[in-house]
Amino acid sequence: MAPHGEGSDAAGDTTVVQAEQRPISNILLIIAMQTEAMPVVNKFQLEEDQHAAFPKGVPWVWYHGVYNDLNINLVWPGKDPILGVDSVGTVSASLLTYAAIQALQPDLIINAGTAGGFKAKGASIGDVYLASDVAFHDRRIPIPVFDLYGVGLRKAYSTPNLLKELNLKVGKLSTGDSLDMSPQDEATITANDAVVKDMEGAAVAYVADLLKVPTIFVKAVTDVVDGDKPTAEEFLQNLAAVTAALEQAVTQAIDFIKGKCLSEL
């Protein structure tokens, strides 16, 4: 994903270079589920707060704190006001990403969460992936160019040094609004060459790209999509254990980021 201001005029390009050369000080973690978020909140001893810039009455939850001189913000979309379950999926993720960027002006976004993995592509339960690219698999618009808009392919911010330092796998991430996978979704996921699938990544990428905030995607595998077990059952069975692996990867990433500029990641 492009850093701040990329693709703009000469003055904009100068801003990009300056932003890339300044130490990162403000990180925004975007996490969809409470179970995924809490190990990270506890690790960094983040405190829950009301953000004045969030509209009154929204369920969005903001945690923040300082860790190793870094400002750490974590947002999750909260519980659906009527049904009381985590507000997963692309609609909540887009709204929250927009509001959180406006309110918090982060230097870098980390979208962390769980994902389904494809064993045919080498994924196993508990693996943690850093996504190289993100795209949608359930926005089918079979009209020239609209088809590409629907897929919405974007590159994650390139972090070769972070990747070298951390023991993460790398692969493409495909996003849709369903936990299961229809045959049509499967065809697009295959076309997207994805190794992991989630329900938020490409939506976060879309908004972050609009607002020119560099974004990386850390996804831990809870279920094997092309395996024998029913996805929902396997996801729920592994969720708690895999969130521990996710927290470790996020901590390692944040420890690596400390004192570095975007251009050093």
Residue 87 in the binding site for ligand ADE (CB under 6 A): no
- Of positions 4, 169, 172, 197, contacts ligand ADE by CB under 6 A: 197
| Annotated catalytic residue, options 185, 223, 234, 247 | 223
Residue count at the site for ligand ADE (CB under 6 A)? 12
Q: At what angle do helices 90-104 and 201-210 cross, to 10 degrees?
A: 40
Q: Closest separation between CB of residue 185 and ligand ADE, Å?
A: 9
**In the stretch 223-252, what mask flags binding to ligand ADE with x, by CB under 6 A?**
x-x-----x---x-----------------
Residues with Cβ within 8 Å of residue 48, at least 6 apart in sequence: 61, 62, 63
Site for ligand ADE in 113-152 (CB under 6 A): 114-116
Q: What is the C-alpha separation between 109 and 30, in angstroms, rounded?
A: 7
Q: What is the C-alpha separation between 95 and 248, in angstroms, rounded?
A: 27
- Here the tokens at position 239 are 């969720």
Residue 179 in the binding site for ligand ADE (CB under 6 A): yes
Q: Closest separation between CB of residue 205 and ligand ADE, Å?
A: 15
- Here the tokens at position 251 are 């901590």
Q: Clarify whether 234 is annotated catalytic.
A: no
**Nearer CB in complex with ligand ADE: 88/213:** 88
Exposed/middle/buried for residue 1 (C-beta within 10 Å: 0-12, 13-18, 19+) = buried
Find the part of the chain contacting ligand ADE (CB under 6 A) among 47-55, 93-101, 203-211, 220-228: 220-228
| Annotated catalytic residue, options 36, 127, 209, 247 | 36
**Nearer CB in complex with ligand ADE: 94/231:** 231
Give residue 78's region: left, alpha or beta (phi > 0; psi -120 to 50). Answer: left
- Partnered with residue 26 across adjacent β-strands are 71
> Which segments of 10-106 does DSSP mark as H helices, in order?
10-21, 34-43, 90-104
- Here the tokens at position 177 are 């609004």
Q: What is the C-alpha separation between 128 and 239, in angstroms, rounded?
A: 13
Q: Clarify whether 247 is annotated catalytic.
A: no
Find the part of the chain contacting ligand ADE (CB under 6 A) among 93-101, 147-155, 221-229, 254-262: 221-229
> Which segments of 83-139 does DSSP mark as H helices, in order?
90-104
**Nearer CB in complex with ligand ADE: 4/219:** 219
**Nearer CB in complex with ligand ADE: 16/32:** 32
Q: Contact positions toward ligand ADE, by CB under 6 A?
A: 114-116, 179, 197-199, 222-223, 225, 231, 235
Residue positions annotated with a catalytic role:
36, 223
